[in-house]
Chains A and B, each alone.
Chain A
Amino acid sequence: MSEEFSVVGKKIIREDGVEKVTGRAKFADDYKFPGMLHAVMVRINEAHAKINEIDFSALENEPAVSIVSASDVHGSKKVGMIKNDQPVFCSEKVVTPGDVVAMLVGESESKLRSLLPEIKIDYTPLPVLTDPEKSLNKNSVLIHPETGSNLIVHHPLRKGDVEKGFEESDEILEQTYKTQLIEHAYIEPEAVVAIPLGFSEGIKIIGSIQNPFTARKFVANVLNYPLAKVRVQQAHLGGSFGGKDDTMCILSARAAVAAIKTNRPVKIKYTREESVLESYKRHPYILKYKVGYNLNGKIKAMKIDILADGGAYASMSPFVTWRSVVQASGPYEIENVQTDVRAVYTNNPYTGAMRGFGSPQPIFAQESLMDEIASRLGISPDEIRRINGFKNGSVTATGQILKDHDVNLKKVLDVACGNTDFITKWKSNRDQKIFSLKYDPSNPILKDNQFIDPPENIRKGIGLAVSFRGCSLGAEGIDAASAYLSVQNDGSIYLDCGLAENGQGLRTTYSIIAAEVLGVSAEKIIYLELDTGITPESGPTVASRATLMGGSAVKNAAEILRDRLINLIKEEFKLGGEDVISFRDDLVFSRKKGLITKFTDLCKLAASRGINLSAIGWYKSPKVDWNEENGQGDAYFTYVYGCQIAEVSVNVSTGEVYIDKVTAVHDPGKVINKLGAEGQVYGGVTQGAGYGIFEEVTADNGFIRELNFDTYTIPTSMDIGEIKPVFVEGKENYGPWGAKSLGEPTLELTAAAIANAVSNAVGRRFYSLPLNLEEIILNKKLRPAGTKRGSSL
């Protein structure tokens, strides 16, 4: 197709926009069914304890209340994304405070909640392990004794010979970085309803579910049903960011067990506090980097040791840390790399998938490190990246040669620097004179808002970060997607895909793709609800793979139908085989004869000729390969590149950081959905900024302190100045017209860029996220006694 687009890349209104802006869009908790019951969770208030006995006798006089527990589970009692280590209902022990031992099911949720204190649980507390660095010690308590170790996974990577590389280096730098536990903080808390459909049909689940096919698998395993007897329908999803996966799968399974037991629809709806308490979060990492480099700026060797706190369950830890091992040395060509990434069990809240997925942590470390090396060498941050950054044909740490796409690392860097006047600002900020508070030590009481007001308290900083990111699942798993497209007699079109709308706007993107191929306006396309009973499976909606994978499947389906229509036209209108037919503006053209017919008339004709105008499109990713032993292989089939520059104002008296501006330059390949793409940048950068400067879940002996938005603060409309998205559309062989990924790259860079900007402002470096007030002023985190997580935080 000659690249003149009529729908792609234009501003298109979201397909589900009117529903959402009028409040009519139905989210999971908005569904009600006749006879529906509610379920509430029974928990032990312990991080690690052996359950001796649960005494429900106080409920004997409550015939309307059913108790649902492990004994009601007829299939798998334990489930998991990768390892089956998480009980649907705990019966032997609890390993983190979010754990659920049973549910009460009945008509009134408030009545059920009032009964919870009546249940007596006899248990024996076990030692609580909260420090991931002690997790692998011989004498540490085992979280899941049957596994024989607290090690969830270890990914090694070996390229070249680091020791030799260090010997050949002029200088060596070693640093340790730490990142914090954070919450997804989707604004909609979890909710799900399970509806029994009778013996032959099985069960239907409607919920705030990120991955309906995964939920179906969990429910089928737990009920011991065939997959086809579990239908999962996704309600409108109030945000997910990777977070409504395992948790929702387990909630779906619990609701399903209760629905089968009571033969009534059962709803589970979490409060915010329960959501934060039980749902998984982003992994805190401890990252040790040793790097050898020459005085000319060339990095010779990098040795990386990363420890991820997986918390109580394995969840997605093996895959999250796998992305880390592939990307930990950054978008830099380094001859000798040795990386070890381990994830371990503790009694902390468990951690799993979250937008970014194992990349924001190493990016913070590696980009801080690059700036530090540059400053030691007296060169600028962009220079060090130019010296070492990937270009076409570079070899990654996993030994993969970057080819078949524009390796646009330097381009995004150049565009970002040009857009912000980076070098000039960076130098002038660096040379600002250091201000120190003038006060009289004999009378250290400050007056007249001395801390807050004087303009010299505010120092400006600018900082950058770059990344490369593997697209889609990579060697994590089978990677394929499908789409269903059906053109009706009147030219209106049904579209459906097995990947899920999580708020990111995927349905709109897919509608645009189908509309472009068939030359119709996007409003012609009616998007069907994702229902595992009807929609073909497409794997999970994760890894920013929706546009690339699902988009290719939609394009494939649309092309199948277009080709059928072309054959029909050539026959009907007696056009030569070599004539080129094009579809545009709801019309059909021949290169030779010009306008042939209207799209609607063509559809009518096709129907009258008995042509099949429904198709399943399919896309399977190209081959990738991976060697578990040495971490070598073509990890992902393609990559995207990004550079973000943060400009900040730091109040050196209070430690407050205000983000004046973030310039986000990304190469996502072709931009299909312009409004949606910009929205991804604004949203991703804002989340990344929250990660960078204030968000943190602290756990005291496994107990989370920040259970609601009063204590867990996410960015508000007041917290960030300007965000400027810039797209560099690099050429790519894969994806629809070369469209790749954007959702996660937008988030992964921001915290690192901010950290470098703050360092530029205050002349000191920071090694621990978030850069909150105490980190800026004291270079450490203040914690109430007993709420430490990890050994030295």
Chain B
Amino acid sequence: MKMKVEFKLNGANVSVFAEPNRRLIDLLREEFELTGTKEGCGVGECGACTVLMNGRAVNSCLVLAVQAAGNEITTIEGIANGDLINPLQKNFLEFGAVQCGFCTPGMVLSASALLDKNPDPTEDEIKEAVAGNLCRCTGYKQIIEAVKETARLSRKN
């Protein structure tokens, strides 16, 4: 039996029917064609499927679609608020924080959840915020630098 799920997705109100066992990641990728949300493990270990739920980073492979009801979901497609890219994404590019790019959407979302809560994070806090996002390509250094720089610039403004 399908259930009606209404929630806010990237700023717009949406309403869909979903089976009770359907995962949020599948709903996003298949129903809404938001394929920026990636699946790397399906068990909550890699963070490639990270989305924001009411501003908090969650693994969408561990969230049921029906749990989105009444909540606000932001995916990588909605993170720049209508712009092409936001300052964090820009710094990901400037600092070389992207290689294959498969982890990148999840990384960006975890990092922006951190920066929203904590505009002046220490290096350790940044490392902790992205510790649930595995990256096999970059060794994380340039990602951490990109987040640091974003925080620094936003404090300056």
Q: Say whether A723 contacts B139, CB under 8 Å.
A: yes
Q: Pick from A182-190, A223-231, A765-773 the stretch touching chain B.
A: A182-190
Are B136 and A186 in contact (CB-based, < 8 A)?
yes
| Bound: A185/B45 CA distance, A | 12
- Provide a sorted-by-A list of 20 A–B residue pairs whose CB atoms are within 8 angstroms: A14-B93, A27-B35, A187-B100, A187-B134, A187-B136, A237-B100, A238-B102, A271-B42, A272-B41, A272-B42, A272-B46, A503-B100, A503-B137, A678-B96, A682-B139, A687-B139, A708-B41, A709-B41, A714-B134, A714-B136
Q: Which of A16-24, A426-434, A550-558, A577-585 contacts B (4 or more CB under 8 A)?
A: A16-24
Q: Are the CB atoms of B142 and A682 closer together than 8 Å?
A: yes
Q: Smallest distance from the beta carbon of A679 to chain B beta carbons, Å?
A: 5
A717 contacts the other chain (CB 8 A): yes
Cβ < 8 Å to A, chain B residues 98-118 = 98-105, 108
> How far is B136's CA from A681's CA once the two chains are assembled, in angstroms?
12
A241 pairs with B136, CB closer than 8 A: yes
Given A21-B92, A717-B127, A720-B139, residue A709 in contact with residue B102 (CB < 8 A): no
Total interface residues on A, CB under 8 Å, equals: 56
Q: Which 10 A-B pairs have the closest CB atoms?
A: A23-B36, A503-B100, A20-B101, A238-B102, A682-B139, A686-B139, A23-B76, A675-B96, A709-B45, A30-B35
If A187-B134, A272-B40 are given as contacts, then 16 extra A-B residue pairs at C-beta distance below 8 Å, sorted by A number, are A11-B94, A18-B84, A21-B98, A25-B101, A187-B40, A188-B38, A238-B40, A239-B99, A682-B140, A682-B142, A684-B139, A686-B138, A717-B135, A718-B128, A720-B139, A723-B139
Residues A187 and B99 in contact, CB atoms below 8 Å apart: no
Closest CB-CB distance, A216 to chain B, in whole Å?
A: 22
Bound CA span A685–B141, Å: 11
Q: How far does the Cβ of A667 sit from chain B's closest Cβ, in whole Å?
A: 20
Which residues on A are within 8 Å of B, measured CB to CB? 11, 13-14, 16-27, 29-30, 184-189, 236-241, 271-272, 502-505, 675-676, 678-679, 681-687, 708-710, 714-718, 720, 723
How far, in Å, is A685 (CB) from chain B's closest CB? 6
CB-defined interface of B42-59 with A at 8 Å, one 1/0 digit per residue?
Answer: 110110100000000000
Interface centre among B29, B36, B38, B141 (most CB of A within 10 A): B141
Residues of A within 8 A of B104 (CB): 20-21, 23
In the bound assembly, the distance between CA atoms of A16 and B96 in angstroms comes to 11
Contact of A22 among B40, B89, B140 (CB under 8 A): B89
- Tell me the smallest distance from the CB of B106 to a CB of chain A, in Å: 9
Q: How many residues of B contact A (CB 8 A)?
A: 53
The answer on a CB contact under 8 Å between B41 and A23 is: no
Asked, given contacts A18-B85, A186-B136, A272-B40, whether A503 binds B96 with beta carbons under 8 Å apart, the answer is no
- Asked if residues B85 and A683 are in contact (CB atoms below 8 Å), the reply is no
Chain B residues with a Cβ under 8 A of chain A: 29, 34-43, 45-46, 48, 75-77, 80, 84-85, 89, 92-96, 98-105, 108, 126-128, 130-144
| Nearest chain B CB to A746 CB, angstrom units | 9
Q: For the complex, give the distance between the alpha carbons of A709 and B38 in Å.
A: 15
Instruction: Give min CB distance, A488 to chain B, whole Å.
Output: 24
A423 to B134, CA, bound (A): 35
